[in-house]
Amino acid sequence: MFANFNKINGIISWAKKGGNMNRKGFTLIELIIVVIIIGILATLAIPQYRKATQRAYLGKGKHALSVIASAEKIYRADSGKYIAVANTAVAWDGTDLNNMVEVKEIGTDTNFTYAVTSTDGTAFTATATQTNLTACTISLTDFNIWTVAAACNP
C-alpha cells in the first residue's frame, strides 16, 4: 500500500515539473494571444491618436490666425487700413505687417496655407486651409468671428 502511495507522489511531482519537457520559452498559443491583444489595443489607439493630432493642427492654425489678426490690427493702427496678404513666402516675410517675428514664422508652416482678404482696407478675413485636408478651412474676421469648416472636426 505504501509503495503505491510513493509511486503516486512520484507521478504528481513529475507532472508538476512539467514531465520530461524542459520549458525555456513561450508556447505558440501564448504568443498568438499576445499578438491578438496588441492588435486590439492598436485598433483602439490609432483613431484616438489621429483625432488628437487633428486637434493639435487646428490649434496651430487658430493660433496663427490670431497672430495674423493682431498684425493686421497693428498695421491698421499705423496706416489706417487693413492689408490683403496672399500665401507666399515673400508676403509672410513680415515686411507688410511691421516685421513681426511671429508673422515671419507663419511663412514656414507646412500644415496650413494662409491668406488675408481685405475689402477697401476697412475689414479683413484671415483664412487658413489645411494642406492635407483641402476642405478644412478656418477663418477669422476683424470682429473676432471664427468659422471652422465641418471637415476640420476630428
CA nearest 134: which of 117, 151, 122?
Answer: 151
Give Cα separations from 121 to 69, 73, 81, 132, 138 (angstroms): 14, 11, 5, 31, 21
The conformation of residue 130, written as its DSSP 8-state character, comes to: E
Of residues 135 and 49, more confidence is placed in 49
Q: Classify residue 88 by its DSSP letter.
A: S
Asked whether the beta carbons of 152 and 52 are under 8 A apart, the reply is no
The rounded Cα 52 to chain-centroid distance in angstroms is 5
Residues 13-32 have pLDDT tens digits of 655 555 555 667 889 999 99
Which tens digits make up the pLDDT trace of 35-76? 999 999 999 999 999 899 989 999 999 998 998 888 888 888
Cα–Cα distance between 60 and 36 in angstroms, integer? 36
